[in-house]
Amino acid sequence: MQSRAKAILLAIFLGVGISALLQVLALVAHEQGFTSITRILDWPNTLLQSLVPCVPVGSSENPRCEGSPLNLLAYFASLPVGAVVYAIIAFVILRRLRHVA
């Protein structure tokens, strides 16, 4: 039971660490102008932002979307979403490695 608790804690640590590292890499990619790479590295935010409705501004010839408080909420929600997904993946890998050894 103790090894399971250690695996869970390690998986949480890895999930948060990987998510934070990818956020930093996405920020660097964004500053360098690599939009596609930014969207891939920050996939939780890309996913959640796609669920937020567009607030249309501009003309019909030049339509644009304006950000709303929902966009900010989606961004902050994307941080734990990524950490949880990476923690689950890390836990599965750690458990499989333990059973192999």
pLDDT in tens, 47-59: 999 999 988 887 8
Q: How many structural domains is the chain composed of? A: 1
Q: Average the pLDDT over 79-101 and give the result.
A: 92
pLDDT in tens, 6-58: 999 999 999 999 999 999 999 999 999 999 999 999 999 999 999 999 888 87
Q: What is the mean pLDDT of the segment spanning 82-100? A: 93
> Cα 95–82–28 angle (5° rounding)?
120
Q: What is the pLDDT of residue 1?
A: 53
Which residue segment(s) compose the domain that 93 sits in?
A: 2-57+65-100
Read off the pTM.
Answer: 0.85
Number of H helices, E strands in the chain: 4, 2
Cα radius of gyration (the chain): 18
